[in-house]
Amino acid sequence: MGRKITLEIDGKTVEAEEGMTVLQAAKKAGIEIPTLCYNEQLEPYGACRICLVEATKNGRTRYVVSCVYPVEEGLKVKTDTEKIRRMRKILLELMLPLAPASGPLRDLAEKYGVKESRFQTEPTACILCGLCVRYCAEVKKANAVSFVGRGTERQIAFVPEVAPYECPSCRECYGLCPGGKIVEAESQGLLSMPITRKTAAGRR
Ligand code: FES
């Protein structure tokens, strides 16, 4: 068990353990912080940034991503200020055009009063949360989904588009995907090809 850490979240004194993240400490204290790319089973990835919070230590205040930010002794955290709500609204406006049909995104947009986005982006059914990539690699020990490209070109790709096909066809990533990309991939037959369909030399 890690060293005990005492911090303050939304004015409440919270006991945590060294190594925990601010999001975990808040959850333990019954304080809700919105998330889109977080999953307890997986290594946090900090992709969607919707979980950002205000963190103050030694008189210095920063906005940090709570699902990856570690607890610190004496840290003071605010999870729901006016500025945080404004920042979350902008993030939602940026993500909504990418996956306009996404249930989790729409729910959060409604909660934060985002009716429509000022940004125009080609819909991809993917907010690059990385849940499918991480779940496949970390839990299933397969690599059927991966990230390709950088910056604005970044996207997820399904093998056999880019690599030896390793999808175990478990379909467990379906329920994780907030944007709908996985269902789209399935409809294109990318998740149901036999393992021998396209393989690298030396692989079955
Ligand atoms: S939930 Fe923390 S960055 Fe997505």
**Distance from CA of residue 33 to its chain's centroid?**
13
Residues of the chain with CATH 3.10.20.740: 4-80
Average pLDDT, the chain: 88
Interaxial angle between packed helices 82-95 and 103-111, expressed in degrees from 0 to 180 and rounded to the nearest 10: 150
Beta carbon of 69 within 6 Å of any ligand 1 atom = no
Question: In this predicted structure, which of 47-56, 67-76, 78-87, 166-175 has the lowest mean pLDDT?
Answer: 166-175
Contacts of 128 (CB under 8 A, 6+ apart): 47, 147, 154, 155, 156
CATH number 3.40.250.10 is the correct assignment for the domain at 4-80? no
Beta carbon of 65 within 6 Å of any ligand 1 atom = yes
Beta carbon of 36 within 6 Å of any ligand 1 atom = yes
Whether pLDDT at 199 is above 70: no
Q: Which atom of ligand 1 is nearest to the CA of 51?
A: 2
Whether pLDDT at 90 is above 50: yes
Give residue 44 CA to ligand 1 midpoint distance, Å.
7
Q: Which atom of ligand 1 is nearest to the CA of 67?
A: 2
Beta carbon of 91 within 6 Å of any ligand 1 atom = no
pLDDT category of residue 64 using cuts at 50, 70 and 90:
very high
Render 135-150 in DSSP notation, one character per residue: IIIIIS---SEEEES-
Beta carbon of 37 within 6 Å of any ligand 1 atom = yes
With contact defined as beta carbons under 8 Å apart, do 14 and 4 qualify? no
Task: Give pTM, 2 decimals.
Answer: 0.87
- Quick: pLDDT tens for 126-180: 999 999 999 999 999 888 888 888 888 888 887 655 555 567 778 888 889 998 8
Q: Residue 51: count other Cβ atoms within 10 Å of its Cβ.
A: 26
Q: Please tell me the predicted confidence (pLDDT) of residue 201.
A: 33
